[in-house]
Chain A
Amino acid sequence: MATEEKTKEIKAKLRNAVIQYDEDASKEAAQQALNEGVDANDAIFNGLVSGMEEVGRLFEAQEYFVPEMLMCADALYAGLDILKPHVKQLDLGVKGSVVIGTVEGDVHDIGKNIVKMMFDVAGFTVYDLGRDVPLDKFVQEQMKTDSDLVCLSAMMTTTMTGMKKVIDDLRAKNPNVKIMLGGAPVSQDVADKYGADGYAKDASNALKDAINMVSSLKKLKDEAEAKKKAK
C-alpha cells in the first residue's frame, strides 16, 4: 500500500492529466497508481473524475471549448481503461444500469457519448444503443435489461418529437422507469410536457449534470460505507 503522500501525489497527477488533456500522462499516472497499490476507486473518483469536474467548471466559465473538453474526456478514458479492471464493485445501494441512445433520425452523439462516459465512470452498466436508434428499440432494451434509467438524446427539433413516443411507451410498460432527456432543442418545458424525470440543457450541461450525478453517487457511496461501519 502506498503512503498517504504518494497516493495524494498520484491522484494529483491523474487530475492534472485530465485537466491538461494529456493522454500519455493519464496512462502513466494510472499505471503508477496500480504499481504503488493505490485503490482504483479512489484513483478514479478523487483523481480522474475530480479532474473532469474542474474541466466542467472551466467549460462553463468559457475557459475551455468543445475540443478541449473532448480531449479531456479522452484523457480520462485513457486512465480509466487501465484502472477499471481493478475496481472493486461499488456498493451504491442503487441498481446501476442505464439504457442510452440518440433517437431515430438523429446522428449527433457527441453529447450522448460524454454522458455515457460519466455513467461508465460511476460504475453503471451502460447499454449504449448508439445513434439513430429506432424508437421501439428503447422500450425493448429497457424490458430486456430491466434498467431503471433511460437516457434519450436528440439534436434536432424534428427528431425530438420521437422522444414523446418513447416516453409514453416506456410509461405504459413500466411506470417506475426514470427517464432523462438531453440535446440542443430540449428544454425543461419540453421535458415536463413529455413527462420525463430529468433534463440536461445541452452538451455542457449534460456533462455538468452527469458530474453532479457522479458526485451524488459518491455521496451515496460514502453513506453506504458509513452505514456499513455503523453496523
Chain B
Amino acid sequence: MKTSLRRELLDHGATVVGFADLRGFLSGEISHLGRAVSIGVDRRLNEDTLSLLVKLEKRAVRFLKARGHRTLAIPPDSDRRKGTFISKLYSLFNHKMAATSAGLGWIGKNGLLINIDHGPRLSLGTVLTDAPIRPDIPMEYGLCGGCILCTEHCPSKAITGAEWSRSAPFVELVRLSACRSHKATKRATDGKPNCGLCINICPYGRKEANADCGMRNAE
C-alpha cells in the first residue's frame, strides 16, 4: 500500500513523499489519526504549487478512503483557510513536524524544512490517516553543520544560529518578531512583503551550486 501510494503521488507531480508515525505526538482531538503522509512539491510558493498540493492531497485521501481508512487532509496554506469548521483544528498541526518525522528533511537554522536534495524550496502538505502504514526513518538532527550563510545574510538578524534536533524541538531558531517587522518595513517601502533571503542563500539544493548553472545563466 505504501509503495503504490508513494508511486501514485510521485507520478502526479509530488517531488518527495514520506510517511511518518506520529502516535503520541498529536494533540487529543486528532490523536486517532496517528500516521501522516507528508507531501513536498519543489517550486516557489505560488498559486500553482498550492493547487497542485491540494490536488495531491485529494488523491491521497481518495486512495486511503477507498481502502477503508480515515483521513484528514491539512492544506498547505492552512493558516489562511478560514470559515470552515475543520479549519479550527488546523492550528493543532505542524507540516514541518510531520515532514521531519517522515525523514524528508530537518529544520535548518533558518527555521525551514531543509531537504537534502531540494533545500528549503519545498512546499508541504500533509494527510493524516489511521491506516497502519510503515513509517520512514525520521530525521533526528540537522545537517546544517558549520554553515551560517542564512544567519549572516538575514537582513533583520533574526536567525539565532541555534541548531534543531528532535530532542529539543522548542529551541528558538528564528526571532519571529524581528523577521516579521522586517517584512512589514519591506512591504511599506517597496510593496513586496516577501524577503526569502534565507531560502535563496541556502546551499542545499541551490541551482547555482549544481552542474546546470549554465542553463540558468542562459535564461
A67 touches B84 (CB 8 A): no
B65 touches A110 (CB 8 A): no
Residues of the A chain whose Cβ atoms lie less than 8 Å from the Cβ of B88: 70, 110
A71 touches B29 (CB 8 A): no
State the interface size on chain B (CB cutoff 8 A): 13
B72 touches A67 (CB 8 A): yes
A113 touches B70 (CB 8 A): no
Closest to B61 in A: A22
> What is the CA–CA distance of A65 and B85 in the complex, to the nearest angstrom?
14
Q: How far is the CB of B33 from chain A (nearest CB, A)?
A: 7
Q: A65-B29, A65-B32, A66-B29 are in contact. Are A71 and B65 (CB under 8 A)?
A: no
> What is the CA–CA distance of A20 and B64 in the complex, to the nearest angstrom?
12
Residues of the B chain whose Cβ atoms lie less than 8 Å from the Cβ of A67: 29-30, 33, 72, 86, 89
A66 touches B65 (CB 8 A): no
Residues of the B chain whose Cβ atoms lie less than 8 Å from the Cβ of A65: 29, 32
Q: How far is the CB of B105 from chain A (nearest CB, A)?
A: 26
* B33, B70, B85: the one within 8 Å of A73 (CB): B85
B85 touches A110 (CB 8 A): yes
A179 at interface by CB-CB < 8 Å: no
Residues of the B chain whose Cβ atoms lie less than 8 Å from the Cβ of A74: 84-86
Closest to B62 in A: A22
Residues of the B chain whose Cβ atoms lie less than 8 Å from the Cβ of A113: 85
Which size class do A's interface residues fall under?
A: 10 to 19
Residue interface bits A57-76, CB-to-B below 8 A is 1, else 0: 00000000111101101100
Q: Which of A112-171 contact B (CB under 8 A)?
A: 113-114, 117
A68 touches B70 (CB 8 A): yes
Q: Which of B86-130 contact A (CB under 8 A)?
A: 86, 88-89
> What is the CA–CA distance of A58 and B86 in the complex, to the nearest angstrom?
18
> What is the CA–CA distance of A67 and B34 in the complex, to the nearest angstrom?
13
> What is the CA–CA distance of A53 and B84 in the complex, to the nearest angstrom?
20
By CB atoms of chain A within 10 A, which of B30, B85, B89 has the most? B85
Residue interface bits B25-50, CB-to-A below 8 A is 1, else 0: 00001101100000000000000000
Residues of the A chain whose Cβ atoms lie less than 8 Å from the Cβ of B30: 66-67
Q: How far is the CB of A97 from chain B (nearest CB, A)?
A: 23
B70 touches A114 (CB 8 A): no
Q: How far is the CB of B87 from chain A (nearest CB, A)?
A: 9
Q: Which of A1-48 contact B (CB under 8 A)?
A: 20, 22, 24
Residues of the A chain whose Cβ atoms lie less than 8 Å from the Cβ of B85: 70-71, 73-74, 77, 110, 113-114, 117
Residues of the B chain whose Cβ atoms lie less than 8 Å from the Cβ of A110: 85, 88
* B32, B33, B86: the one within 8 Å of A70 (CB): B86
> What is the CA–CA distance of A183 and B119 in the complex, to the nearest angstrom?
46
Closest to B32 in A: A65
> What is the CA–CA distance of A67 and B33 in the complex, to the nearest angstrom?
10
Residues of the A chain whose Cβ atoms lie less than 8 Å from the Cβ of B33: 67
> What is the CA–CA distance of A70 and B88 in the complex, to the nearest angstrom?
9
> What is the CA–CA distance of A101 and B72 in the complex, to the nearest angstrom?
28
Residues of the A chain whose Cβ atoms lie less than 8 Å from the Cβ of B84: 70, 74, 77
Closest to B92 in A: A67
By CB atoms of chain B within 10 A, which of A20, A66, A77, A113 has the most? A66
A-B residue pairs in contact (CB < 8 Å), sample of 19: A65-B29, A66-B29, A66-B30, A66-B89, A67-B29, A67-B30, A67-B33, A67-B72, A70-B84, A70-B85, A70-B86, A71-B85, A73-B85, A74-B85, A74-B86, A77-B84, A77-B85, A110-B88, A113-B85
Interface residue ranges, B against A (CB under 8 Å):
29-30, 32-33, 58, 65, 70, 72, 84-86, 88-89
**Which 6 A-B pairs rank lowest in CB-CB distance, beginning with the nearest?**
A70-B85, A70-B86, A73-B85, A74-B84, A66-B29, A71-B86
Interface residue ranges, A against B (CB under 8 Å):
20, 22, 24, 65-68, 70-71, 73-74, 77, 110, 113-114, 117
13 additional A-B pairs beyond A66-B30, A70-B89, A71-B86, beta carbons within 8 Å, are A24-B58, A65-B29, A66-B29, A66-B89, A67-B72, A70-B84, A70-B88, A71-B72, A73-B85, A74-B84, A74-B86, A77-B84, A77-B85
